[in-house]
Chains A and B, each alone.
Chain A
Amino acid sequence: MIDIQLSEQELNAQVCIDFALSGGAGAVDVFIGTVRDQTQGRKVVQLEYEAYEPMAISEMRKIAESAMHRWPVQRIAIHHRVGTLKIGDAAVVIAVSTPHRAEAFEACKWIIDTIKQTVPIWKKEIFEDGEVWVAAHP
């Protein structure tokens, strides 16, 4: 079972964990990506996330489906935030359940690594003295 959400509201990690819990699972691995207060020493004020929403959802679903083929995953929840985020806010929550812990760690790491490569979501770092779209330029 897969639960994919894009939301302008604050993310609730417990909702993802509750979704992932299943009788067949011996492990739930959770990843929470949060807004850091600095990048290379520059103080970050806030982050702005935007998404090409229909494709962001379909790409996250493809990633979840691939993970279910690669590992004996029971359930996956991926919730991603869009809009303006403050320091410490959760930008993404992933919860993955598997029968044993090793697969849960591996699947969760692969999911977040792949999200960062393929899902059409962009973040702009707003500094005290400027702003930049992350990873835009080489």
Chain B
Amino acid sequence: MQVKILAFGVAKDIVGSRQFDFAISDHTTVEALRKNLHTQYPALEKLASMAIAVNGEYASDEVIISSGDEVVLIPPVSGG
């Protein structure tokens, strides 16, 4: 299935756009998605961290991504 992924900060620069579609198999976890993204975009792995949010909340590695979820790449935050 395809998931829509939003990218912010340096992650947006690395993937080249604010929003992109990414193909994953059914029952893909956040951890597996991160690995797939690292394969596709090796520069993501060089970041100090990269959290993934699903539907507006930080998602732990074991969360399974469903079709229609809003998935967001969250590189190290630097607000304030």
Least Cβ distance of B37 to chain A in Å? 16
Q: Residue A54 contacts which of B47, B56, B74 (CB distance < 8 angstroms)?
A: B56
A122 and B77 contact, CB distance less than 8 A: yes
**Chain B interface residue count, Cβ-Cβ cutoff 8 angstroms:** 20
Residues of A within 8 A of B58 (CB): 118
Query: In the complex, which residues 20-35 of chain A have their Cβ closer than 8 Å to any Cβ of chain B?
Result: 33
Residues of A within 8 A of B53 (CB): 52, 55, 120
A118 and B77 contact, CB distance less than 8 A: yes
Q: Residue A80 at the B interface, CB < 8 A?
A: yes
B72 and A52 contact, CB distance less than 8 A: yes
Given A58-B56, A122-B9, CB of A136 within 8 Å of CB of B76: yes
Given A55-B57, A120-B8, CB of A135 within 8 Å of CB of B78: yes
Determine the interface band of chain A, counting residues with CB < 8 A from chain B: 20 to 34
For the complex, would chain A's binding face be called helix, strand, loop or mixed by DSSP majority? mixed
Least Cβ distance of A76 to chain B in Å? 15
Query: In the complex, which residues 1-32 of chain B have their Cβ closer than 8 Å to any Cβ of chain A?
Result: 6, 8-10, 13
Residues on B lying within 8 angstroms of A by beta carbon are 6, 8-10, 13, 46-48, 53, 56-58, 72, 74-80
Known: A133-B9, A137-B47. 13 other contacts (CB 8 A): A50-B9, A51-B8, A51-B79, A52-B8, A52-B72, A92-B80, A117-B77, A118-B58, A119-B79, A135-B48, A136-B47, A136-B76, A137-B46
